[in-house]
Each structure stands twice: as C-alpha cells, then as structure tokens.
Amino acid sequence: MLNVPSALIVQIVYLRYAFCFLAALMLLSCDRNLTQKSEPNMMPLSSRVAPMFNKTKTVCFGRFMVDVPESTTVVWGDSIVPLTISIYEHGNRQVNALADDFIKELQSGKAIYHGDVPLLLSVSEVESVGGRIITGYEDFESINDLRIQGYFELGDDGVIIRARPLRSDAAGTVALIKSMAARLRRREVGEAPSQPGNCIEYAFIEDMDNPAPEDLMEHIRIGFRLKEFPDAHFSIYVAPSNPHDPESDSLERQFKRFKENPSTPEETRVLARIKYFREGPRSIHDWQAGYEVLMRTPVEEGSLSHHDFQMKFTGVPHDPYKPYADIQFQTGVVGDAAGAGEASLTDEEAVAVWNSITSTIRVRPIGVAVNKSPADKLRSPLGELAATGRVCPQTGWWKSSETNLLDGTGRRHLNAGERMPHVMIVSNLSLWQRFKGERGVYRAATMWQLVDYDDALSPVLAMGEPGPQPYER
C-alpha cells in the first residue's frame, strides 16, 4: 500500500517538469518566430566573426556615420550634392587633362540644329576657386539640353562637378557649380566634420547659408567589403524622401506584393523554399518606421544559395537628416553578383554581422549653425526683379514669373544674401512614363519679383491667396 502513493508522486513530479520543459520550448519557439520587433535581438558573434569587431572604424557618409570593422574596405559610389561631384585623389593633372579632352570632344562635334556650329559653347576661367567651367550642347541634335562641367583643383586633388541642365537653366547651374567648388574642402580619412554638410569620398562639402530645399537633393552611395569574408558585401544608399508618395518606396509594400503575387510557377516554387530569419519593422536611432527582410535564397539556376538582407526607410519629406534609405547585405558575391559563389558566413554569423553594423548607423553630430545675415541696408522697392542664381537683394516674399509650377513653389520667403532659387515645373508625362513611376517635374531657372516685405501681413495673403506650402523646391 505504501508503494502506490510513491509511484503517483513520482509520476506527478515527472509530469510537472515535462510540462514546464514543453512550455519553455514553446516560449523559445515563439521568440524565434517573432517578426514584428523594432529592435533586433543581438546574436553573439562566433569565434570567426568576433575578432573583426575587436577594432572598428567610423566612416562618415553624407550627413551620417556608421561603424565597421577596421579591416573593411570602403567603396564609394556616386555622390550628388545636389550635382554629381567626383574627387580624384592626387589627380590634379589628370583632371586638367580630362578638361582638355572634354573641350576637344565638344569642338569636334556639330550642333546641326544650331547652324552646324561646334557643340562647345564656352570655357570660363574661375580664378576664385582655381578652375574652369565648360559649357556645351548635349549632342548634335539637342535644342535645349546642355552639358556643363566644372574642373577644379583641391590642393593635390582634382575635382569634377557635372550637370545636364536645360539651356534656360545655364546661368543658375554655373552659379551652383561655383558655389559647390567654393564650399568644398579636403577631408582626412576617419574625419567626421562638425559643420552641417556632406561627407563624400576624400572631401567634405559644407552647406550653404540658408539652403533652399532643392539644394538638399542629396544622393550618397557607399559600400563595404569585409576583408575576412570577401564574398560579403554591405551597402547603404540615402536619397531624398519622395514628397508626393513616400509609401511608394515602402519595402513592406514591395515585399508583400513579391510574396503574394508570384507571376510564374517557378517564382512560386522559389518562394516556398526561401528561408526567413526576420521580417518586420525596424528603427535605428533617429531613423524610425523602417522595415527589414532577412532571408536566404534557395539554389536556383545560375545562382547558389546566399543571404539577401535588406532594410528600407521611406524617410521624412524635406528632412535631409531623415532621408529615404536602402541598406543591403549579401553573401556569395563574386564580381558584384550575389550567389555567384558559396556563402562564407553561416546563417547565424550573417545575422550577427548585419545586426552589429546596422545598429551603429546614426546622424553625424554637428555644432550649432550660426545664422549669417548681411548688414542692414535700405529696402529694395516692391517689384524688384532677381533671376535664379543671383544673390537675393531683399528679405521678403518673392513670386516666380513661371506658370505650370508644382504646388507651393511659385511663392517663396527669401532672406537677403541667399541665392535666388530654382522652381519645379510640372511636365506632361506619357502613359509609359506614368507606368514607370517617373516624376513629371524638372528644375528650372526663373525670374523672381519682390511682392511684399516680411515685417507686416502681406496684403495678398490677407485677401486669401495661399502662402508657401510645406514642399517648396
């Protein structure tokens, strides 16, 4: 009789521990399958990966910073701030030679719709910044399109600033090229300037005083190659947020379409074999409302299984510190093709590397900007005219002479000393252009007219005419 209670007690204790063990497994399983966390669980670094992060370096790109292993090779892509700018390290002579080649190229071509004259329009010396600006037609049949390129010296380095404006925008573009060259300085490796502006390869371009929104149309591309794992490539691209439809760039929306609407049976089979590590919202410091997808692709024809991680932020329109951002990490990369080789990182290692690098992306700290203003002077009369590119002669409300403008861009409050801005003109798009999602606007020079001072309520505004809109470019 005494053995029966003992057996029951043993069974009860066994069942109790078994239940606790199963509950723990269920909780662990749930935690592994969570996909809606804004901050990732930091995975421990393996013995192969941990030594890479013992020593790191901070890389400044655009208005931002990121920490990567010290042995990482940094690869810069295009920098547009807001025109395309390239720095040739120790390339002073090379840039001068390229300028001569560009002149010869334009001289040898003919603009058949402009009286069969050479494509070359002008070569202007810019003594203030040590360089020259070359202007020519885009091609032999061009009527309105130009190529304008500035070639400058930056110590021992060479600089080329490239633009393709409309002919009517030539003066404003030349003024912008001169301004960019004047604000450019050499940047040492590892330097993160405290002034507002953009880090680009080898250099830093400081913001102009009171920049207009079109002066902040910045595109920065940068990549990182891990020395210990050469097939692992990490890249960051930042650009202005789409002011009209930010959600069109949403990775969540794009990935949902990808998963729910495969176009072929083969795509359906591939989707079924994808391995997902994490999918859901993600925030990094000041960058909020991002979305990430971490997956490993299956073996396909012409591609081996590899990691394909991506995170996107739609950004905040008109805020250069919260831009659209596209961050990617791939393995098995050979010749810039992911999956062309074997992935050298395990799944756990790839996720750990991704977490370790992405969590360090942040806005570069800057000092308090000093607002500079010209000395007080007599007012310019109402009706005063000033063209794009000219220094604004009077603080007040200015109105563009152009029609068919993007809403809110034709009336601007400008401060004396600023450069008179461009306007954004709405163009008609073809059906194919609309299908591709192209934006039917382009930047143009204009003539501005002073219509009111800023020390009293504008009579025009008092009668109900809309004032400046939030999106003014």
Between CA 185 and CA 164 the distance in angstroms is 24
Between CA 3 and CA 26 the distance in angstroms is 35
- Tell me the sheet residues that pair with 330: 233, 308
For residue range 312-328, list pLDDT tens digits in order.
Answer: 999 999 999 999 999 99
pLDDT band at 411 (very low <50, low <70, confident <90, very high): confident
Helix (H) or strand (E) holding 267: helix 265-273
Between CA 380 and CA 453 the distance in angstroms is 9
For residue range 443-452, list pLDDT tens digits in order.
Answer: 677 778 888 8
Q: Which pLDDT score, from 0 to 100, does residue 463 have? A: 32
pLDDT band at 454 (very low <50, low <70, confident <90, very high): low
For residue range 24-49, list pLDDT tens digits in order.
Answer: 444 334 433 333 445 565 667 888 99
HSE-up of residue 368 (Cα within 13 Å, Cβ side) = 2
Between CA 276 and CA 255 the distance in angstroms is 13
Q: Which residues contact 78 (CB under 8 A, 6 or more apart)?
A: 84, 219, 221
pLDDT: is 205 or 384 the higher one? 205
User: How does the average pLDDT of the chain come out, rounded?
Assistant: 81
pLDDT band at 378 (very low <50, low <70, confident <90, very high): low
- Domains of the chain listed by start with CATH number: 58-75+219-363 (3.40.1000), 82-182 (no CATH), 385-462 (no CATH)
Amino acid identity, residue 398?
W
User: Under a CB-based contact definition with an 8 Å cutoff, are residues 84 and 231 in contact?
Assistant: no
Between CA 384 and CA 374 the distance in angstroms is 18
- Tell me the sheet residues that pair with 44: none
First-to-last alpha carbon distance for the chain, in angstroms, is 92
For residue range 75-109, list pLDDT tens digits in order.
Answer: 999 999 999 999 999 999 999 999 999 999 999 98
pLDDT band at 119 (very low <50, low <70, confident <90, very high): very high
